[in-house]
Amino acid sequence: MTREEDIKKAVEVMRKGGVILYPTDTVWGIGCDATNAEAVAKVYAIKKRDDSKALICLVDSDVRLQRYIRNAPEVAWQVMELATKPTTVIFDNAVNLASNLVAEDGSIAMRITQEPFSKELCYRFQKPIVSTSANISGQPAAENYRDIDEELLNAVDYVCYSRRQEKQPHTPSSIIRIREDGQVEIIRK
């Protein structure tokens, strides 16, 4: 299967409200349409995770990110531009996303991916994609396809073929909270 066919199939599944497993700019992720509350609920159920714990979303560009954040402070753009590794930013004032994805305080964790597969997937999908680590809550994140638990492989609607052969270390993103007033807090280095 070509990368293009793989992306096309993943997009098709997400447009129908399905859940996918896919390689990201960090670890393998469980993904779905971040604007579809039913799909987001499926991700929480698959991960066996309390839905009060927010999930990360991926987008392909700052232009797309701006459609889902109201009043992002200038410092957020500077942090993302200067980051030397994948960096997730928690923004205040999320808009146009599934209500069960947004934290109780109205915040959302988003990352602009630069990795070719996930960037193209986000671009083709034209909306944010949930990107939570491919593991049952409390277990180690799947750095590579071979690390994904069989239970997860059977629980999703589609497993991407791209990058399945990789056997190299991957780590989760840094997480930084940037408040609307520009206040910065490092959550995970």
In 3D, which of 105, 85, 129 has the Cα closest to residue 177?
Answer: 105
Q: What is the pLDDT, as a whole number, of residue 189?
A: 86
CA-based torsion, 121, 122, 126, 128: positive or negative: positive
Read off the pLDDT band of 182 (50, 70, 90). confident
pLDDT in tens, 21-79: 999 999 999 999 999 999 999 999 999 887 767 799 999 999 999 999 998 899 999 99
Q: How far apart are CA 76 and CA 104, in angstroms?
A: 21
pLDDT, position 52: 67
Contacts of 188 (CB under 8 A, 6+ apart): 172, 173, 174, 175
Which residues, 6 or more positions from 146, have their beta carbon under 8 angstroms from its beta carbon? Answer: 164, 167
Contact between 125 and 64 (Cβ < 8 Å): no
Residue type, 148: I
- Would you kindly state where each structural domain of the chain is located, as residue ranges? 3-188
Amino acid at 74: E
Q: Which CATH class is domain 3-188?
A: alpha beta
- Spatial contact of 137 and 23, defined as CB atoms under 8 Å apart: no
pLDDT in tens, 114-171: 999 999 999 999 999 999 999 998 898 999 999 999 999 999 999 999 999 999 889 8
In this prediction the pTM is 0.94
